Amino acid sequence: MSASAKILALCLVFASLLLFGFGGKLLKESLAYSELKRISYEECRKNPPTSGWYQITGCRVDLSDSVEELQNNIPVRAYAPIYAAQDAQQKRTSIFAEVNDSRSMSLLLDAFQQERFHGKSAYARWFQEHRAQMIVTKDVEGLIYQGIYRPTVDLNAKFAEVSDTDFSQFTMVAEGWKPDTKRAYTELTIGGACLIVAGILFLRDRRR
């Protein structure tokens, strides 16, 4: 087998493993959480579910209080605290929305750059102009899971400013998640095809 063919075969094996992993996880979740359940914010606080596809009603999502993960000083993921819609004074919670959609991340990047490069007064003006986009009252829908991986010291300090419990007890919401068995089967099928092609390449080499 030529060097290029060997590299291609190994890349196909690696791709198939990734697709089996992602596809298998999505299929498992889609089959397990196929029914959307509704729960009020108050009930979610009192008796938080540990997993499932939920719509939490009566929420206020505050991007301005987000705990952000940075790479090269750029926000790449954020955890936005979810407060009660009717309580404008609430500033601590145990429920967070996992944010990584392009619109929200673009807003957070703008906010980060305003404060970092132009100062707090510039950020304050920017925030007033974008307040309606940064603080949104809505029902939050997505996949709920409990706890978060052990955060870094920096992230833990940021969580401590807005949370009222240990990070292992957080109720996290992967906002926008929906069961998608079609996508899961597609990823598994493509993964299988990659593995078959890789196998053919290796078998051809052994026969030579």
Question: 45: closest CA among 90, 6, 75?
Answer: 90
pLDDT for the residue 160: 84
From first to last of the 208 residues of the chain, give the pLDDT tens digit. 567 777 887 888 899 899 989 888 888 888 888 899 999 999 999 999 989 999 999 999 999 899 888 887 788 888 999 999 988 888 889 999 998 788 888 898 888 888 888 888 888 899 899 999 999 999 999 999 887 765 565 677 788 888 888 778 889 999 888 888 888 889 899 989 998 888 887 777 666 6
pLDDT for the residue 172: 92
pLDDT for the residue 151: 58
Buried b (16+ CB within 10 A) or exposed e, 21-32: eebeebbebbee
Pair 139, 97: CB distance under 8 Å: no
Phi, psi of 34 (to 5 degrees): -85, -15
